[in-house]
Amino acid sequence: MDIGVVGLGRMGANMARRMARGGARVLAFDVDAAARAALAEERGVQSADSFAALASGLSGARVVLMMLPAGAVTEGALAGLLPLLSAGDTVVDGGNAYYKDSMARARNLSQRGIRHVDAGVSGGVHGLANGYCLMLGGTPEAVARFEPFARLLAPAPDRGWLHCGPSGAGHFAKMIHNGIEYGMMQAFAEGFALLAARKDLAIDPGKLAETWRHGSVVRSWLLDLGAEVLKTDADLASVAPVVADSGEGRWTALECVELGVPAPVITLALMERFSSQGKSDYARKLQAMMRAKFGGHAIIKA
């Protein structure tokens, strides 16, 4: 049972390791030689130094898992890989691609007789040890080809992975998953900010977070991670108040507008991330100037 993996970043490399440790033979490629070298000592993982070497090194009906950033990087890799594939092969896109792009890609590949699976992947840097949650979209035949590897990647063979539906369903499910994640993180962050603001009550946020982990209705892995941070760095003095967004939250917000389905918590959590990136600065400056004009209020200089 062998599989090709293209893209050996933090997620791709660890997914290659987990499948190899589960008994699969993994042929791995990355344009970065250092990324390939990092897997040199991993039993069951063989490095390929080109798309041609990867394609020729896989036997039978080939399965290739792509773990690359969505957009130009994925498109470039497909352009290099597709001429080397044949009808009956399966391409699995495990990146955070926009689901409509995945639907279009599946249609295009089907014209060549190549199967496509869009795989939403959650688990992050902890996936190697704990397993990955997999949300799969594609035809039953395409998903069946990837199923043996999904069982190795998931926390257990019989749970943590799902054939969500036709092409696009996997990446759509992951998009909504990330939107929910935005809202949950925002709620936790706001709650602990309120706790920190009442210093007179002397609540230890780390100890409270640890207490909430046991029996509370808000217990979750995100709370576990937050508790781990707050135990050692409750003031967060060395951390800049800037939160990046990967794009999935934007797609989720756009989807709620297109469908007319209200999602105020997710949307506001996304707006808060934009604000943390300095994208509210101009509006705040203008508000300060307007306030000075109508009320003579003082302006705080930059």
Considering 174, 248, 255, 272, which one is annotated as catalytic? 174
Is 248:178 a contact under the CB 8 Å cutoff?
A: yes
Contacts of 218 (CB under 8 A, 6+ apart): 188, 212
49: three-class secondary structure by DSSP: coil
Which of 181, 125, 134, 140 shows the shortest CA–CA distance to 156? 134
258 is catalytic: no
Which of 95, 102, 41, 50 shows the shortest CA–CA distance to 68? 95
Q: How far is CA 67 from the centre of its chain?
A: 10
Is 137:166 a contact under the CB 8 Å cutoff?
A: yes
Burial 104-133 (b: 16+ CB within 10 A, else e): ebbeebeeeebbbbbbbbebeeebbeebbb
Which of 34, 64, 33 shows the shortest CA–CA distance to 49? 33
Considering 42, 181, 210, 228, which one is annotated as catalytic? 181
181 is catalytic: yes
Residues carrying an active site annotation: 174, 181
